[in-house]
A and B are shown apart, each in its own frame.
Chain A
Amino acid sequence: MLAIGAVDEFVQAVIQGLPVGSVYALIAIGFTLTYKTSGILNLAFGAQAYVSAATYFELHVRREWPIWVSLLISVGILAPLIGVLLNQFVFKNLRTASPVARLVVTAGLMVALPEIFKIVTDFERESVFGAVGIVPDGKIFYRIFDRYPITRDEIVQFTVAILGALILFALFRFTRLGLHMRGVVESPRMTELRGIDAEKVSSFAWGLSSLYAGLAGVLLCSTSITTIEPGSFFQLVIVAIAAAALGKLVSLPLALAGGFFLGIMNTILPTYITPTSIIGQNLGPSLPFVMLFAILVFMPGIKASKESRDPMAAVDPPTDTISIAQVSPWASRIALIPSLLMGVGIFIWVLTSADQFWMLLFTEAVIYSIIFLAITVFTGMGGQISLALTSFGAIGAFTVFQLTKNFEMSSLLAALIGAALGAAVGALLALPVLRLGHIWLALATLAFAFFFDAVMVKFPWVGPTSMQTAEIPRPTLGGLDFGNDKSFFLLCVVLLIICSLFVSALKRGTTGYMLQALRGSEVASQSVGINPTRWRIVAFAASSGLAAFGGALLVIGQESVNYGSNFAPLTGLFWLVLVITLASRRVSGAIQGGVVFRVFPDLILIRLLHLAPQWQFALFGLGAINFSKHPEGLLEYSEQKSVRRFDRLISRFNARKQASKTEVPS
C-alpha cells in the first residue's frame, strides 16, 4: 500500500511536471533552432516571443478577433516577418563578428523590440491580463488514467513541443533544406560556391526560428505567463537555456529532453522536500539557475564546443576598425581637448548652478562610470562578458548597509570593504566559470545573477528585512563631511579619478598586456608561458571589485539600498549593452557611458524631445545593432574619425609647408 502510494506520488509529480516541462522544451527547442541555424545565441528570443504574444492578445482579447485570424497575423505573418527583417538588417552583418558582438546585438534587440512594440501599439494603455490560448475553452481538463488532470492548453503546448521537435529534427536530418541551413551557418561562402542562395536560406532559417518564437510566446501566455510583460518571457528563456545547454545548444532531442527534465525536477522537488527546509527554501526558487550553472560548469565538453569557424571567413573579413595607431599620438591628445573642456565645463556648472535634480543625475553619472569601469576591465581588456555586474554592485551595497547598520562604520570604509568582498566573491566565482569563455561564461554569470536575486537577497544577513529601514548614511572623512550633495559629488569625482587611474595602470601594466595577448590568441599566449586562468581571475576580481565599489557608492548617494530599482539582474545586461555599444576598451568609454546612461534620457529624450521613457530602451537597444559594424564602440568610432580627419588636415598643412619651403630655393 505504501509502495503504491509512493509510486502514485511519483507518477503524479512526473505528470504534473510535463506541462512545465513542455514550456521549457518549447523555448529550448526554439532557442536551439536559432543557434543551429544562425550560430547566434539569441537573447532576443524572449522579445520575439513577447511581440507575437502581445499582438495575439491585442487582436484576440482586446479587439475580439477570431482565434485563427489573430494567430495567423501574430504567429503566421508577424513572427516570420520579424525574423526575415532581423536577418536582413542585423544578423546578416554578424556572420563574421565575434561572439561578444553577436551577444551584444541580440541583447540590444532584447531590450529594444518590446519597447518599440509598446510605443507603436500603445500596448500598456490598459491592464494586460486575461490572456487565453489558441484552443477554445483551454482550461477544460481531462484526466490521464482517470486521475491526473491536464488542460486543453497544456495538451496543445505538449503536442507542439513534441511535434515541433520531431519536425525540426526531420528537417535537419532528412531534407536538403536542413542541410543547407546548417551549411550556411558554417560557411555561407562555401554553400554559395555550390550554387545555394545563402541569403534566401538564411532568411528562411530566421523566419522559421522567429515563427517558432512567436508560437512559443502565444502558447506560453495560456499556461505559464499570466501577465504579458517582456521580463517574464526573458526569465523563462533564461530557464530554458539550461535545457538547451544540455544539448550544447545544437541538439534538438537533448533540448527537448532537457526541457522535460527541468520541468519534472520542478515538481519533484516540492513533492519530496518540505518548503520550510533549507533545501526547499533555497533550491526551490533557484533550481533552473543552479541547474544552468551546474550544466555549464560540470558538463563535459561544454567548454570544448567552440563556435564554428568558417574556412572562408577571410572572404568576409570583420569590419575594419579605425586603429588608434593610424593617427599620431599627439593628434589623439589634441582631439581629446574638446571632451576635456566639456567635462570641466560640466563639472563647474554642476558645482555652481545645477539644481538638486541635475546634481543627482551627474553624481550618479559619475558613480555609474565607476561601475562601468568594471566593463572596461573585463570586457574591454579581457574580451569576456560578465552578466553578473548587478550582483556585484549589490554585494557592495549590502556590505555598506550591514556594516553601517550593525557596526556604525563609516560608509566610505564600508564601501572599500564591499569592494574587497566583491573582488573576493568575483575571484571565487571565476575559478569554475572562467575556463568556459565567451557565451558560456556569459550564461554562467547570468545564472549566478539570477541565483543571487532569487536566493541571496532575502537573507537577513545580506539585505535589509521588512523590519529594517534601508537607510545608509553619507560618509565623513576626518573633518570632512560629505553629507550635502555638492561635497558628495566632489568625493565621487575624486573617487572616479582614482578608479580611472587604477584601470589605466592595470591596462598599461602587466595585467593589461597579458589580457591583450590572451585576447589575441589564447593558444599562442599559453605557448609563451602566459597562464590564462590566472590573469583572467585577476581581471574578473578587479572588475567585480569595481562594480561592488560603484554599487556601494550608489546606495550611499541615494542614502538607501533600493535593490529593486538599482540591481535587478536584467539591468546589468542593459549596462553592458550600453557601454560596449559606446566604447568598452577605454576608460573614457566608461565615463561617457555613465553620462549617457544617467543624463541622456532626461536631457535629450524627455526634456528636449518630450518622448516617453520607453524610447530610452528602444534607442539604446537599437544602438547596439550598430555594434556589429563598429566593434570599437560608437563614441570611439566617431572620436577616432574626427582624430583621423584632424590628422589628415595637419598632414596636408605640413605637406604644403614642406612644398612652399622647397619652392623658395628654386
Chain B
Amino acid sequence: MVAKKFKLLSAFAAVALIVGACGNSGDDEGTTETTAGGETTTTAGGSGGDRDTFVSLTGVPGVSDTEIVAKAIGVLSSNPLGTNILNAYADGVKAYFEWRNDEGGIYGRKLVLDEVIDDALAKNKDKATEVCAGGKTFATFVAPLLFSGATTLQECGMPTFSWGIHREPADNDYIFPSVAVTCQDCTSPINPWIASKLGVTKVASIGYGVSENSKVCAQLGKKSFEQYTPDIEVAYFDDTLAFGLPTGIAPQVSKMKEAGVELITTCIDLNGMKKLGEELQKQGMDDVIMVHPNTYNQDFIKANAAIFEGDLVGVSFVPFEAKIESETQAKFLEYTEKLGLKSEELTMVGWINADTFFTGLLAAGPEFSQVGVKDALRAITEYSAGGLIVPINLSTQWKLPTSADPTTHGYKQTCTNTVQIVGGVFEQWSGEAGKPFNCWPNPTDALEDPVATSFSDAG
C-alpha cells in the first residue's frame, strides 16, 4: 500500500514538475527549455523567439526559401468503414497550417500541404515510397487504415505524423502518432472504473474475431475487469464476432440479456456499434450502456441518437464539447469555422499531427533538417499538443511498452477522456469542468479514484 501510495505521489510529483517546467510557456511564444539532464519540454507557440529567423537552406527536401512542403497520404477510396477519413484529416492539417501561416509562417517560410494522396486502402507503401523517392517533401502526414508504408517512411528519414491507431510506429523513431504506441498486453483501469462508477455488477466484453487487434482488446477488457474489479462479473465474453456484424448479433444479445449484463465494453467499429445498439433496443435492453471505442463522430451519433442514448464514448483528445484553457483548441475551433470545415475526429487528429510537426520545426531551429526535426522532437519529454492529448514522452514512447515493463516506454499516466451521448450530441462525462481527463498513475495495480486533470499547461 505504501509502495502504491509512493507511486501515486511520485506520479503527482512528476506532473507537478512538468507543470512547473512549463510554467514559463507563454501563449504567444514558442519555447524550448533544456533541463540539466538534457531533456526538453517544448510548446509550439505563436510568433516570437527565433521563429522569424530566416536561414537559406540547401539540400533539404521540400524546403525552399518560401515554403516547407508536406504531403498527406491516407484512405479515401475503397474505405470499408464508410467514414470520411482522408479529407477530414487533411482539412485538420490545412487548417493548422493556415493558422501558422496567418501568423507569418515559420523561419520566413509558409507551411504548405501540397498534395493529398489517396492510398486506396492497399497502396500505402507505394504512396509512401513515391513520396520518399520524389525528394520534394519535407514531412508526411498519414491517415491510412493499413499503414504498410511505415518502414519506408522511416527508412527514408521522413518526419511522419500519423493517426494514432496503428502499431507500426513502434520502433520507428521518425514516426510521430497522435497517440503514442500503446501496450498490447496491458490491462487498464478505465473500463472497470466506468463500470464501478455506474454501479453495475455484470458486464460484457466483445470484439471481432477476424481482427487480431479487436480480439486482443476484448480479451484485455475481460482481464481488466478480473484484475481491477473482481466483484464485477464478466457475464458475457465474445471475441469471435464477424466484422461489421453482417449476420446480426441477436443470439449474443439474448445471451447477454439472460446473463443480466448491464454494461457492454466493445472493441468494434461504429457500424458494428449501431447494429449492437439496434439489437439491444429490440430485445428491450435500452438501459444497457455501451462503451464505444471508435464512435466519436457527431453526424453518426446525431443520425442514431435513439440507439445510443446514454452510451459512453472514449476520445483520444479533448473533445470539442469540453472547453479547456488551450490556445491550440481555441484556434482549432476558430480556424475550422473560418475555413468552413466540419469538426470531425480526423480533423482534430490532423490538427494535432500538424502541431507536432510545427513543434518539431520550432525545436529544431532555423537551420532545420529532417533529421533535425526528428531529433528535436525525440528530445521532448512532455508533449500534449497544447493540452489536447495526454502528454507523450517523445524521447521514449516510440517503442512498445509491455505488461512486464509498462513504464519505460509507456505513458506516465493512464487517462481517459469520456463523453456521453445525450439527445444525439456528446457531453463531457469524465473529469470536471476545465479538467476533462481522468487519470491514474501508470502502472496502477488496484482501482483507485482517478484524478481529474487538464494538460493545458503541459507542453
Q: Which residues of A contact B (CB under 8 A)?
A: 12-13, 16, 19-20, 23, 118, 124-130, 139, 141, 149-151, 223-229, 231-232, 235-236, 239, 263, 266-271, 275-276, 280-281, 284-285, 355-358, 360-361, 453-454, 457-458, 463, 465-467, 469, 471, 558-560, 562, 564-566, 568, 571, 602, 612-614
Contact = CB atoms under 8 A, between A and B. Distances in A.
A270 B255 contact: yes
B300 A129 contact: yes
B79 A229 contact: yes
Interface in B121-156: 121-126, 129-130, 132-134, 146, 148, 151, 156
B251 A275 contact: no
A357 B133 contact: yes
Interface stretch (B95-103, B188-196, B235-243, B376-384): B235-243
B240 A124 contact: no
B318 to A, nearest CB: 23
Nearest to A271: B251
A565 B123 contact: yes
Contacts of B130: 357, 602
Nearest to B238: A275
20 contacts: A126-B87, A127-B300, A226-B275, A227-B82, A266-B247, A267-B251, A275-B240, A276-B238, A357-B130, A357-B133, A360-B125, A457-B210, A458-B212, A467-B185, A558-B148, A564-B122, A565-B122, A565-B148, A602-B126, A612-B77
Of A239, A453, A457, A467, chain B has the most CB atoms within 10 Å of the CB of: A467
B133 A355 contact: yes
Closest 8 CB pairs of A and B: A227-B82, A357-B133, A226-B271, A16-B250, A613-B120, A356-B133, A275-B238, A128-B82
A471 to B, nearest CB: 8
A130 B307 CA distance: 12
A471 B151 CA distance: 9
A560 B151 contact: yes
B83 A224 contact: no
Contacts of B77: 118, 124, 612-614
B278 A562 contact: no
B210 A227 contact: no
A357 B132 contact: yes
A454 B255 CA distance: 23
Given A12-B254, A129-B303, A357-B132, A453 B126 contact: no
A571 B244 contact: no
A437 to B, nearest CB: 30
B424 to A, nearest CB: 12
Contact of A267 (B84, B245, B250): B250
B59 interface: no
B343 interface: no
Interface in B374-422: none
Contacts of B215: 458
Contacts of A357: 126, 129-130, 132-134
Interface in B16-55: none
A550 to B, nearest CB: 16
Given A270-B255, A356-B129, A467-B184, A613 B281 contact: no
B303 A454 contact: no
A341 B215 CA distance: 52
A124 B76 CA distance: 7
A129 B77 CA distance: 15
Contact of A469 (B81, B170, B213): B170
Given A124-B76, A355-B133, 16 more contacts: A16-B254, A130-B300, A149-B284, A229-B80, A232-B246, A281-B240, A284-B240, A357-B126, A357-B129, A357-B132, A360-B126, A469-B171, A565-B123, A565-B124, A565-B146, A613-B123
A419 B239 CA distance: 32
Contacts of A465: 212, 216
A151 B129 contact: no
A175 B318 CA distance: 66
A129 B212 contact: no
A127 B254 contact: no
B65 interface: no
Given A127-B82, A284-B240, A613 B118 contact: yes
B247 A263 contact: yes
Contact of A458 (B126, B209, B238, B274): B209
Contacts of B251: 13, 16, 267-271
B323 interface: no
Interface size range of chain B in the complex: 35 or more
A562 B242 CA distance: 21
Contacts of B184: 466-467
Interface string B277-301: 0100111100000000000010110
Nearest to B122: A565
A356 B156 contact: yes
B247 A20 contact: yes
A617 B210 CA distance: 26
A239 B247 CA distance: 10
Contacts of B171: 469
B167 interface: yes
B252 interface: yes
A466 B254 contact: no
Contact of B151 (A229, A263, A268, A559): A559
A565 B80 CA distance: 13
B297 to A, nearest CB: 8
A227 B81 contact: yes
A200 B411 CA distance: 70
A228 B82 contact: yes
Contacts of A235: 246
B104 interface: no
A239 B246 CA distance: 10
Contacts of A602: 126, 130
Nearest to B270: A129
A328 B125 CA distance: 45
Contact of B125 (A227, A281, A565): A565
A284 B124 contact: no
B244 to A, nearest CB: 6
A464 to B, nearest CB: 8
Nearest to B249: A270
Nearest to B344: A127
Given A127-B84, A130-B303, A227-B271, A466 B213 contact: yes
A275 B239 contact: yes
B278 A224 contact: no
A257 to B, nearest CB: 18
B90 to A, nearest CB: 13
B260 interface: no
A558 to B, nearest CB: 6
Contacts of A236: 246
A3 B281 CA distance: 28
Of B77, B146, B210, chain A has the most CB atoms within 10 Å of the CB of: B77
A565 B147 CA distance: 9
Contacts of A355: 133
B243 to A, nearest CB: 9
B157 interface: no
A126 B129 contact: no
Contact of B129 (A19, A127, A226, A360): A360
A271 B258 CA distance: 11
B248 interface: yes
Interface string B194-226: 000000000000000110110110000000000
Contacts of B250: 16, 19, 267
Nearest to B76: A124
Contact of B216 (A275, A466, A571): A466
Contacts of A270: 238, 251-252, 255
A285 B133 contact: no
Nearest to A364: B126
A276 B246 CA distance: 20
B209 A285 contact: yes
A84 to B, nearest CB: 28
Nearest to B303: A130
Contacts of A126: 84, 87
Contacts of B185: 467
